[in-house]
Amino acid sequence: MIQSTKNRKRYICCSNRSRLGLSHRTGEKAVNIFEQMAPNISFVNSTGTVLEFK
């Protein structure tokens, strides 16, 4: 289980993604995990969310 989590973290953090949007369907627990693993790229996307990237 720990190795699997490390592999997922490496995939998410090192896959050249600039942003990773999480929807309400992702689930609160998973959103929290993503925010801990990739705080610089993850965000919660809700209906009506407006993002400005500079």
pLDDT tens for the 54 residues of the chain, in order: 445 666 766 776 666 767 878 887 778 888 888 888 888 888 888 777 777 887
Q: Say what the pTM is.
A: 0.54
Neighbouring residues of 29: CB distance < 8 A, sequence distance ≥ 6: none
Give the whole-angstrom CA distance, residue 51 versus residue 19: 11
What pLDDT shows up at residue 5?
62
Quote the pLDDT of residue 1.
Answer: 42
Rounded Cα–Cα distance for residues 2 and 26 (Å): 21
pLDDT of residue 45: 80
Q: What is the pLDDT of residue 43?
A: 84
Strand partners, 42: 20
